[in-house]
Structure 1
Amino acid sequence: MAETSSLPAAGATARIAASLAARSGFDAATKLRLMADGRQVGWLPRTHASILRGTDIGLGAVLGPEQALGDGSVAVALLPGCDDFEARSTALQALARQLADAGHVRGWRDELFAVTAALDAPAVAVVERAAARFLGLLTFASHMNGIVDGAAGDPPALWISRRSPAKAVDPGMWDNLVAGGMPHGSDPLATLVRECAEESGIPPELARRVQAHGMIEVLRDLPEGVQWEQVHVYDLLLPPDFIPHNQDGEVSEHRRVELAPLLAIMSAGAMTVDATLVTLDALARRGWLDAGDHD
């Protein structure tokens, strides 16, 4: 189906749900609970654990012995011989580089993500962003629905963006107008304001008018590992004459879409999973889906 074709809302949302389900499988039985300082920081695929056990970074074992938990899952400690932030971070930098050199990790970013059990918990280490999904680490992101603030009676419309074909993750797919991973030391709003300027040319004074709408948690298997991400959701009302302009080369196209073509894009599976969830959240909150069709 062409991206710009339309479907009745009920038919589109059923297809969107099927597309999300097909792309959102997660098998906990094939994972180890990755622990640090007694708290879970990731879901490590067993196949990746085997790779890590065969990797020598010269700083002791990468993984500790497996331990069965009362719920039937199995836990393993990350870098059991390292007991402080700097030591763990140094070890993980060496590990990430070896994994990249061996072809297990791609899309090196020179950006550090926190290794942590929660957004409000102290990080136990930092790691190169490209290695986060290989390790199945909990990560954080900010996504924003760019909503056209039209006159009363105008049909609903959103701005969306297409990811650059050069991106390592989901190249060429449709995304929210603004979306970005949260580096260590940032927070959801600061991340969003920065990404607004870089991805869509939205000035900080406009970006700070966003409305926060909670968080959506994504947990799914991927070819490169696991996406375990807490996505912080924002809406921004944009002036009718606003036109986004990418500044960092990570967006290949912006498009202003009304409801029918937007539903068609999502039902065709042409939008990323996390962006689809964030978009549906906005449509449902604003009553732009038929009652009963957005469960």
Structure 2
Amino acid sequence: MDQEMKPARSLSSIAFRGGAFRRETRSVPAERAVAISVGGSTHAVMMASPADIEDLGVGLVLNERIVDRFEEIDAIEIVETEAGTDCQVRLVPERAETYVARRRQMTGPVGCGLCGVESLELAGRVLPEVTAGERVSPERLVRAMDEMSAEQKLSRLTRAVHAAAFHKREGSMVVLREDVGRHNALDKVAGHLARNGVDPASGFITITSRVSVELIQKAAVMGCGLIAAISAPTELAIAEAEAAKVTLVAVLRGEEFEIFTSPDRIEGAQEPLDADETLLA
């Protein structure tokens, strides 16, 4: 397995601890577009860890009842492309005759923001660079996460949902939305801002989940320059945030957090960096 396909990678971040910034390293999980193809036709595309892909393919065709038994799978081939990994599943002739090669119609899956995408090429998109966004103090980030936590009524009731929120640099939280899917929660926030004429560049996003690439894509498309999460990001999410010039703050817990990209939007975060130093070096 080459460097890009390792399940985790050590990357640099700027940590805010004890009231001061310092440089640290963190291991972040890899994330890759994976297509599951059945009989030569793409059945689903998802973002996944680049390990145990054959298991993923077998589990999916079994769980979706494309086959009833493992023995109905004739062969599995893993094909690596620039766009991602294609797990090509070939069925035994008898079973292949009953499988109609058609694109699956999805109704908002909660586990993956890209399921139902029709090809690996569509899983990656060219994102706009986000140049807007005011600088935010560390104290404001900490307060914003506390604001979101205080308003998570459905989460306290069920312990089974994610939340996303939008905050202005000054003042209180603008909107919070909860959903079983973290992608759905952020989409709901984007919808509220659009319906109420609120410019996403005028504030920042907080989320209660890990940071996967889909969340960075959504923030960039919204034009929001800063997203802060309670959990860690994936390697691909960091790369996408770097490319889109989105400030990615993660592991925001208590009064501590880490900045992975574009630290210029965080007050005081520039001091630990040399002029030519990059967070992804």
If the TM-score is normalised by the length of the shorter chain, which range does it land in? 0.3 to 0.5
Return the structure number with greater relative CO, CA threshold 8 A, min gap 6.
1
Q: TM-score with structure 1 length normalisation?
A: 0.39
Q: TM-score with structure 2 length normalisation?
A: 0.40
